[in-house]
């Protein structure tokens, strides 16, 4: 670090930690590497032709779309989302209950601006999406982490945690939860626990950030009502994104919530990026208006179900049975694995020698843990790569046992 810079940096810069996943990308791009690391959609099924067709909106609206847009978001897209999300939201939203954002990562950032003072506390699952904790940490948040089982976070533990924290003078502000096909766990938060979570939020005056980028990518089982749809007191901010259901390169996402909170987030957004790319929003809107979103969803569900099944089959075929634990996800992008006798770090080193990559569990634990866990994304690699990669992983694991 240059000396002259050190005296200029903010406290936040001193606390800055890069995302271990983002930092790994150069490693993953090595020739011959089979990667199960990043949570990336399969580029083979990106709807390139349909998106090119959607670009036709520039013929019609080019002069408006190339202008600055409102911070609240491109109105036709908000109107579309108000209708389209009604089954999940439990009702048709008003457009001022929706804010379009630049990726759903920005939703975490904006809500953190609204709620977090340096030193405040957020309740989250253990483990949880590290992108979100990274963002909240930038605002000076610390975390009360709640262990999970196959039904998601053990919400019954929250009341005691909050009471203890508040007795110690800690300010606990909101609960961050990934409700469907959790990243990294792959599990769903059960209906009963969703209901309990609202009761807890009401009793302890907390907000809930319901992060649901994977909910539309369900392979098996019944859809579970969103927490937002069950909330009657305006405590839930629901976050979703086009990243996993269309393409992450659009960087278009949205959130829904209490008008007052949405308005505050909007004002912070004015100072963050003025507005989300209007060109991107308009093309996403046109893509949706032409019916491509509705026809693409069954296609990705079918495609990713097959990929999940291929990974499951390869696990059974190549991993030493009894030495690895996993839960079969009913949707989404990820498997979460546990190797009780082998440290994930050791396995990672061996695997990388054999040109296979995954993500270590530890960074998903804001307060430490996960030494024997790792995450595998099943959507990105081809069927052949999955088979080959997991056979190499099996070899690496056998060498360590
Ligand atoms: C749980 C969760 N939330 C949010 C995001 C970020 O999505 P976006 O691309 O919209 O920023 C991801 C991406 O992997 C995620 O897994």
Q: Examine the domain organization and report whether 41 and 54 are in the same domain.
A: no
Report how far ligand 1's centroid is from the alpha carbon of 294 (Å): 21
Q: Which residue carries 């829904």 as its tokens?
A: 256
Q: Is residue 361 part of a domain?
A: yes
In angstroms, what CA-CA distances link 260 with 177, 236, 264, 275?
21, 12, 6, 19
Q: Examine the domain organization and report whether 166 and 110 are in the same domain.
A: yes
Question: What would the pLDDT profile of 306-324 be if each residue is shown by its tens digit?
Answer: 999 999 999 999 999 999 9
Question: Domain end: 234, 269, 292, which one?
Answer: 292
Q: Is residue 4 part of a domain?
A: no
CB 204 within 8 A of CB 186: no
Cβ(329) – ligand 1 distance below 6 Å: no
Q: Which residues contact 69 (CB under 8 A, 6 or more apart)?
A: 275, 276, 278, 281
Angle between helices 130-138 and 20-28 (to 10 degrees): 130
Which of 109, 129, 378 to probe ligand 1 with, by most ligand atoms within 8 A of CB? 129
Q: Examine the domain organization and report whether 240 and 100 are in the same domain.
A: yes
What confidence score (pLDDT) does residue 2 get? 66
Cβ(184) – ligand 1 distance below 6 Å: no
Q: Is residue 3 part of a domain?
A: no
Tell me the two tokens of residue 65: 């779309």
Question: What would the pLDDT profile of 215-236 be if each residue is shown by its tens digit?
Answer: 999 999 999 999 999 999 999 9
Residue nearest to atom 13 of ligand 1 (CA): 39
Cβ(248) – ligand 1 distance below 6 Å: yes
Nearest to 66 by CA among 280, 288, 285: 280
User: Distance (Å, rounded) from C-alpha 197 to C-alpha 253?
Assistant: 24
Q: Examine the domain organization and report whether 185 and 324 are in the same domain.
A: no
Q: Examine the domain organization and report whether 275 and 288 are in the same domain.
A: yes
Which of 21, 37, 104 to probe ligand 1 with, by most ligand atoms within 8 A of CB? 104
User: Distance (Å, rounded) from C-alpha 186 to C-alpha 357?
Assistant: 19
What confidence score (pLDDT) does residue 1 get? 56
Q: What sign does the CA torsion over 16, 21, 22, 25 have?
A: positive
Q: Is residue 5 part of a domain?
A: no
Instruction: Quickly count: other Cβ atoms within 10 Å of residue 132's Cβ.
Output: 24
Q: Examine the domain organization and report whether 234 and 195 are in the same domain.
A: yes
Question: What would the pLDDT profile of 287-309 be if each residue is shown by its tens digit?
Answer: 999 999 999 999 999 999 999 99
DSSP state of 3: H
Cβ(254) – ligand 1 distance below 6 Å: no
CB 364 within 8 A of CB 376: no
At residue 15 the predicted structure's pLDDT band, cuts being 50, 70 and 90, is confident
Instruction: Give me the percent of the chain exceeding a pLDDT of 70.
Output: 99
User: Distance (Å, rounded) from C-alpha 81 to C-alpha 37?
Assistant: 31
Instruction: Quickly count: other Cβ atoms within 10 Å of residue 363's Cβ.
Output: 18
Question: What would the pLDDT profile of 62-77 be if each residue is shown by its tens digit?
Answer: 999 999 999 999 999 9
Cβ(332) – ligand 1 distance below 6 Å: no
Q: Is residue 1 part of a domain?
A: no
What value does the mean pLDDT take over residues 184-210?
Answer: 98
Question: What would the pLDDT profile of 84-140 be if each residue is shown by its tens digit?
Answer: 999 999 999 999 999 999 999 999 999 999 999 999 999 999 999 999 999 999 999
Nearest-atom index, ligand 1, CA of 107: 11
User: Distance (Å, rounded) from C-alpha 293 to C-alpha 275?
Assistant: 23
DSSP helix/strand/coil, 376: strand
Which of 25, 183, 217 to probe ligand 1 with, by most ligand atoms within 8 A of CB? 183
Question: Domain end: 270, 292, 314, which one?
Answer: 292
Nearest-atom index, ligand 1, CA of 243: 9
**Residue bearing the bigger pLDDT, 19 or 56:** 56
Q: Examine the domain organization and report whether 288 and 315 are in the same domain.
A: no
Q: Examine the domain organization and report whether 302 and 247 are in the same domain.
A: no
Overall domain count for the chain:
2
Q: What is the CATH number of the domain that holds 217?
A: 3.40.640.10
Report how far ligand 1's centroid is from the alpha carbon of 186 (Å): 14
Which of 132, 243, 333 to probe ligand 1 with, by most ligand atoms within 8 A of CB? 243
Tell me the two tokens of residue 263: 């308005």
What value does the mean pLDDT take over residues 372-384?
Answer: 96
Average pLDDT over the chain, rounded to whole? 96
Which of 131, 239, 380 to probe ligand 1 with, by most ligand atoms within 8 A of CB? 131
Q: What sign does the CA torsion over 281, 285, 286, 287 have?
A: positive
What confidence score (pLDDT) does residue 383 get? 93
Query: Where is 105: in which H helix or E strand?
Result: helix 105-115
Q: What is the CATH number of the domain that holds 323?
A: 3.90.1150.10
Cβ(183) – ligand 1 distance below 6 Å: yes
Q: Examine the domain organization and report whether 138 and 199 are in the same domain.
A: yes
Report how far ligand 1's centroid is from the alpha carbon of 233 (Å): 26
Q: What sign does the CA torsion over 380, 383, 387, 392 have?
A: negative
What confidence score (pLDDT) does residue 244 get? 96
Range of the structural domain that residue 73 is part of: 48-292
Q: Which residues contact 117 (CB under 8 A, 6 or more apart)?
A: 140, 171
CB 287 within 8 A of CB 297: no
What confidence score (pLDDT) does residue 222 get? 93
Q: Examine the domain organization and report whether 102 and 203 are in the same domain.
A: yes
Report how far ligand 1's centroid is from the alpha carbon of 391 (Å): 29
Cβ(211) – ligand 1 distance below 6 Å: yes
Q: Examine the domain organization and report whether 57 and 37 are in the same domain.
A: no
Q: Examine the domain organization and report whether 110 and 228 are in the same domain.
A: yes
User: Distance (Å, rounded) from C-alpha 42 to C-alpha 36?
Assistant: 12
Q: Which residue carries 């090119």 as its tokens?
A: 52
Q: Which residues contact 200 (CB under 8 A, 6 or more apart)?
A: 155, 158, 159, 162, 175, 206
Cβ(39) – ligand 1 distance below 6 Å: yes
Question: Domain end: 292, 310, 341, which one?
Answer: 292
Nearest to 304 by CA among 216, 175, 392, 187: 216
């Amino acid at each position: 670090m240059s000396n002259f810079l050190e005296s200029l940096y903010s406290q936040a810069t001193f606390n800055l930690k890069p995302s271990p996943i983002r930092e790994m990308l150069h490693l993953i791009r090595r020739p011959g590497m089979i990667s199960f690391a990043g949570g990336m959609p399969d580029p083979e099924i990106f709807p390139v032709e349909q998106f090119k067709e959607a670009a036709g909106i520039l013929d019609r609206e080019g002069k408006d779309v190339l202008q600055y847009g409102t911070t609240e978001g491109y109105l036709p897209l908000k109107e579309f989302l108000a209708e389209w999300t009604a089954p999940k939201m439990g009702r048709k939203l008003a457009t001022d209950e929706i804010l379009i954002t630049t990726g759903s990562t920005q939703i975490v950032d904006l809500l953190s601006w609204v709620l977090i003072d340096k030193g405040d506390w957020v309740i989250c699952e253990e483990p949880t999406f590290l992108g979100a904790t990274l963002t909240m940490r930038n605002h000076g948040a610390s975390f009360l982490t709640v262990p999970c089982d196959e039904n998601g976070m053990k919400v019954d533990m929250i009341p005691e945690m909050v009471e203890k924290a508040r007795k110690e003078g800690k300010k606990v502000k909101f609960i961050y939860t990934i409700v469907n096909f959790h990243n990294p766990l792959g599990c769903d938060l059960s209906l009963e626990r969703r209901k309990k979570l609202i009761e807890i939020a009401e009793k302890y005056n907390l907000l809930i950030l319901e992060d649901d980028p994977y909910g539309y990518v369900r392979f098996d089982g019944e859809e579970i009502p969103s927490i937002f749809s069950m909330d009657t007191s305006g405590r839930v901010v629901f976050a979703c994104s086009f990243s996993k259901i269309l393409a992450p390169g659009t960087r278009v996402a949205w959130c829904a919530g209490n008008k007052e909170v949405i308005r505050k987030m909007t004002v912070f957004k004015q100072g963050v990026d003025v507005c989300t790319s209007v060109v991107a929003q308009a093309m996403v809107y046109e893509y949706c208006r032409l019916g491509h979103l509705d026809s693409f969803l069954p296609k990705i569900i079918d495609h990713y179900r097959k990929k999940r099944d291929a990974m499951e089959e390869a696990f059974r075929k190549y991993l030493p049975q009894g030495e690895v634990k996993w839960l079969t996800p009913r949707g989404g992008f990820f498997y979460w694995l546990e190797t009780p006798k082998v440290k994930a770090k050791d396995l990672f080193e061996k695997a990388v020698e054999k040109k296979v990559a995954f993500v270590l569990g530890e960074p998903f634990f804001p307060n430490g843990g996960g030494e024997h866990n790792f995450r595998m994304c099943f959507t990105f690699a081809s069927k052949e790569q999955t088979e080959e990669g997991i056979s190499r992983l099996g070899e690496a694991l056998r060498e360590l046992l």
